[in-house]
Amino acid sequence: MWRALLLSGALGLAAIAGLLPKGPTAVGPAAAAAPPAPVVAALWADWRGRFVREDGRVVDDGNRGISHSEGQGYGMLLAVRGDDRATFDRLWTFTRGALGLRGDGLFAWRYDPAATPRVADTNDATDGDILIAWALAEAARRWDAPDYAADAAVIARAVQSLAVIDHGGRRLLLPAAVGFAAADRRDGPVVNPSYWVFPAFPALAEVAPEYAWDRLVAGGLDLLAVARFGEARLPPDWLALGGGAPRPAAGFPAEFGWNALRVPFYLAWAGGDARLLEPWRALWKDPDADPHAIPFDGRAPVRFGEGGYRAVPAFLACALDGRPLPADLKAPAHEPYYPATLRLLAVVAAAERYPACL
């Protein structure tokens, strides 16, 4: 399947070939898995202690203490990378029980312990679904557990059936099963470029090989080539594709913001072509500087915040130029869920794909 990826897509051979996995991704009997790098183990222990409750709920302390499918998926993936099966099982049990209410293989996106009911909106968030499926597929391989692979396949098939469409010659990933298609919005379909979790797709293709994951990858890459706005030529958090040329979606801030910050990170983690990453290399000439959200409407850039956000430009400098990750980003810091998660993910991705940067 992935050989077909080399022959398709508007960005050409080099950009798409760069997303081919360079390590084993097959789900099935696992070779002896290496223990996590000490820096990964230390950061994981800190993250688990601050954000994972005893019942397996991941707490977003920067968002009024809610939980969401994204956080559960990140937590499950990080538990695999931390070789922590007991925590993984707690996370998966909570995710399946509290968010797996839809009955179609996807997960309600938000859980609020202070609300009644705790899940008021059963719509999904497709990046959360993908992260959960990816984590299960990786867990199946690491711990030789076929049941996890079967669960991953159910989710992957539901994503393809309920949240993937063809539009304008591209295979697209909708942000949710409901609310973003052309029938739902005047400017629809609307997509979120950061929901293409590029390093996850090889694992999903292994558990659900009957689907054309290569076309979905190519559609996301093609969008990133044309959906560039502002002087820095960056993608927006939310992108409208209805009625002509792509443009920032109505009703959302027109900016490269907290969502789209993950786009270059996922591309670099997947081994994406450096040409796709050039706008961010130009933007972050000093990878030690604090990154900012970049509005496209003349408003001033807004600093993302805590130090963990620096992990994205630092990881990009690692991927593109072999620059080691700064020592302070390899140590725990007292910061909220999202920057702490980016920090740990960057160290995990560096250990996996660019170990010299550690």
Q: What's the rounded Cα separation, in Å, for the pair 129 and 164?
A: 13
Q: Are 92 and 149 in contact (CB under 8 A)?
A: no
- Which candidate, 85, 74, 70, 72, places its Cα nearest to that of 30? 85
Q: Which contacts of 280-288 are long-range, i.e. CB under 8 A and separated by 24 or more positions? A: 280/234, 280/313, 280/316, 281/316, 281/320, 282/232, 283/232, 283/234, 284/313, 284/316, 284/317, 287/313, 287/314, 287/316, 287/317, 287/323, 288/314, 288/326
Q: Are 43 and 347 in contact (CB under 8 A)?
A: yes
Q: How many CB atoms lie within 10 A of CB 350?
A: 27
Q: What's the rounded Cα separation, in Å, for the pair 14 and 6?
A: 8
Identify the helix (H) or strand (E) that includes residue 15.
helix 12-17
Q: Are 295 and 254 in contact (CB under 8 A)?
A: yes
Q: What's the rounded Cα separation, in Å, for the pair 342 and 348?
A: 10
Q: What's the rounded Cα separation, in Å, for the pair 73 and 338?
A: 13
Q: What's the rounded Cα separation, in Å, for the pair 1 and 281?
A: 31
Identify the helix (H) or strand (E) that includes residue 248.
strand 247-248
Q: What's the rounded Cα separation, in Å, for the pair 43 and 284?
A: 25
> The tokens of 45 are what?
């222990």
Q: What's the rounded Cα separation, in Å, for the pair 321 and 305?
A: 25
Catalytically annotated residues? 70, 127
List of residues 6+ apart from 217 with CB closer than 8 A: 5, 9, 16, 19, 196, 198, 201
